[in-house]
A and B are shown apart, each in its own frame.
Chain A
């Protein structure tokens, strides 16, 4: 609703902070790099070998992953909030990440008994990703089937929590029967991390997320029509079944692949669309989709910078940091809006 010129200011501010935090993200870590070494390494100058090694094999891939994941989860949350007309909808709360978790658990701890060794073989990597996608897709499908019966925000959230409990129970059952090595692979996955993705992994993630974004852009018109309720959207000529399907596939591609490669990451998907709405004061998805994507990338790179605990050898699980950043925003939304 603001004039186009005002968006320019907000966008510039976001892009400036995005570049600052990307730089910080590359500089800070268990080893602190001098700025001139980083510039030299990137622009082909003289830099110590350890700097370019760590930079290119570790920090840059990790930053790219974080940017992709942040944008994807946030855009996913935005679409679910509009589709379910529920300000608290996101892949994590609605149990989609739990579904992905169950898929991974079954694959890592269940199917590995049938002969696939998990020592970072390509089969294991692809398997985890596909298992997470299938799990995410299954839960999304389930939510879509019940969402017409669960009109109120709270019921849908309780449904998500129940899904999380059920998958949690099944996962503990699987854990009980699995070996400690398998258990470790799974537990490390659940902590969430942007590091350790091979260039191939990043390419796969990039292409899938790009497909998800492309579908999202084609959903914009329908998302705007959905803002005024399903009955009205249908009378406008929106093909609701097709729209729902299209949003479902886009969100599964986005959330499913992030969860598959980086583990379940909560709260970013709810919080970022709301921050975007507060900054841009416009519910039009033509404005919100790009705004949410770029804000999500920014906030995720901040979370990742914090999680690597500059100067310390330890790394915090990304999920801890995202909860600390996201939960206050969500609490603010609950306090401010009357959610029924």
Chain B
């Protein structure tokens, strides 16, 4: 792998004075970092720019100013195919093509390493089958992706990132459109991936309880500033009160929720 010698690197991903936005600034002064094999949640009110942050981190959106560095190199300097090996993105919802098999969908994840027509080799073919087992979709390879349930499709979307085999996986509200059973399945899957695959996972969520329980670190996009820390210390500092502008909402440190 391109960067395996950095696996213990403390600064896999560094954000320095980052301002998000294209024509106008959406959110500014983000200073944060992510280490190898960490699980990080991004929390914040609707419309603060969680999606924009994640999309900027993987080069889908340009950012206004500041720095995003992966392995000490600014992402603007990465070639598209190199970037794809370091970071992958799971959108909260993707268009689903009809008559496209799950296997073929996962085969597109090998984009940066396949030949000109996109034919995958034996090794990737095995990898896809293994990944299907990992995400609990064993035997689904020939299924038409438009017939998958929302929960199954979200697992398939996570499988794409695993097949892409990037060091960092970014997920935009992975459980937003799911019922409670699927929410738990996806959460368990993410925890599993973080533990066993040594991937750095950054996901946006509104579920604070989940974030506190699951994550090594939380990035709070508060209404008056960005804060990053471990869940315990954030609770101690009372930082969660700064997520919402509404001062009537108080975070209960025992229940892990707003009251």
Using CB atoms and an 8 Å cutoff, list the residues of chain A in contact with chain B.
Answer: 1, 85, 217-218, 220-221, 224-225, 227-229, 231-232, 234-239, 277, 280-284, 286
Interface flag for B108 (CB, 8 Å): yes
Interface flag for B98 (CB, 8 Å): yes
Chain B residues whose CB sits within 8 angstroms of the CB of A237 once the complex forms: 80-85, 111-112
Chain A residues whose CB sits within 8 angstroms of the CB of B117 once the complex forms: 217, 220-221, 286
User: A338 to B99, alpha carbons, bound, how many Å?
Assistant: 16
Select which of B58, B100, B114, B144 is within 8 A of A235 by beta carbon: B58
Selecting from B24-32, B40-48, B87-95, B244-252, the interface stretch reads B87-95
Select which of A220, A231, A238, A280 is within 8 A of B89 by beta carbon: A231
* Contact (Cβ within 8 A) B108 A236: yes
Select which of A224, A239, A282 is within 8 A of B80 by beta carbon: A239
Q: Which of B152-179 contact A (CB under 8 A)?
A: 160, 164
Using CB atoms and an 8 Å cutoff, list the residues of chain B in contact with chain A.
Answer: 55, 58-60, 80-85, 87-89, 91, 94-101, 104-105, 108-109, 111-112, 114, 116-118, 142, 144, 160, 164
* Contact (Cβ within 8 A) B111 A221: yes
Query: Which of B94, B118, B142 has the most CB atoms of chain A within a 10 A radius of its CB?
Result: B118
Chain A residues whose CB sits within 8 angstroms of the CB of B91 once the complex forms: 229, 231-232
* Contact (Cβ within 8 A) B118 A224: yes
Assuming the contacts A237-B81, A237-B112, A239-B80, asked whether A283 and B87 have C-beta atoms less than 8 A apart, the reply is: no
Chain A residues whose CB sits within 8 angstroms of the CB of B105 once the complex forms: 227-228
Which residue of B has the minimal Cβ distance to A87?
B98
Chain B residues whose CB sits within 8 angstroms of the CB of A282 once the complex forms: 99-101
* Contact (Cβ within 8 A) A283 B100: yes
Chain B residues whose CB sits within 8 angstroms of the CB of A229 once the complex forms: 91, 94-95
Chain A residues whose CB sits within 8 angstroms of the CB of B55 once the complex forms: 231
* Contact (Cβ within 8 A) B98 A283: yes
Q: List 23 A-B contacts (CB under 8 A).
A: A220-B118, A221-B118, A224-B108, A224-B118, A225-B118, A227-B97, A227-B105, A228-B97, A228-B108, A231-B60, A232-B89, A232-B94, A234-B80, A235-B58, A235-B59, A235-B87, A236-B109, A236-B164, A237-B81, A237-B82, A237-B84, A238-B80, A238-B111
User: A284 to B82, alpha carbons, bound, how many Å?
Assistant: 25
Select which of A217, A227, A232, A238 is within 8 A of B100 by beta carbon: A227
* Contact (Cβ within 8 A) B60 A234: yes
User: A1 to B109, alpha carbons, bound, how many Å?
Assistant: 18
Chain A residues whose CB sits within 8 angstroms of the CB of B114 once the complex forms: 221
Select which of A232, A236, A284, A286 is within 8 A of B112 by beta carbon: A236
Select which of A1, A228, A280 is within 8 A of B95 by beta carbon: A228
Which residue of A has the minimal Cβ distance to B115?
A221
Chain B residues whose CB sits within 8 angstroms of the CB of A277 once the complex forms: 98-99
* Contact (Cβ within 8 A) B111 A236: yes
Which residue of A has the minimal Cβ distance to B114?
A221
Chain A residues whose CB sits within 8 angstroms of the CB of B111 once the complex forms: 221, 225, 236-238
Chain B residues whose CB sits within 8 angstroms of the CB of A231 once the complex forms: 55, 60, 89, 91, 94
User: A229 to B160, alpha carbons, bound, how many Å?
Assistant: 13
Query: Which of A225, A227, A229 has the most CB atoms of chain B within a 10 A radius of its CB?
Result: A227
> Smallest distance from the beta carbon of B259 to chain A beta carbons, Å?
36
Question: With A236-B111, A283-B98, A286-B117 given, can you name 8 additional A-B contacts, CB distance below 8 Å?
Answer: A218-B116, A220-B118, A225-B118, A228-B95, A231-B55, A237-B80, A237-B83, A283-B97
Chain B residues whose CB sits within 8 angstroms of the CB of A85 once the complex forms: 95
* Contact (Cβ within 8 A) A1 B99: yes
Which residue of B has the minimal Cβ distance to A3?
B142
User: A218 to B142, alpha carbons, bound, how many Å?
Assistant: 26
Assuming the contacts A1-B144, A227-B100, A282-B99, asked whether A235 and B118 have C-beta atoms less than 8 A apart, the reply is: no
* Contact (Cβ within 8 A) B88 A235: yes
Chain A residues whose CB sits within 8 angstroms of the CB of B97 once the complex forms: 227-228, 283
> Smallest distance from the beta carbon of B56 to chain A beta carbons, Å?
12
User: A225 to B100, alpha carbons, bound, how many Å?
Assistant: 12
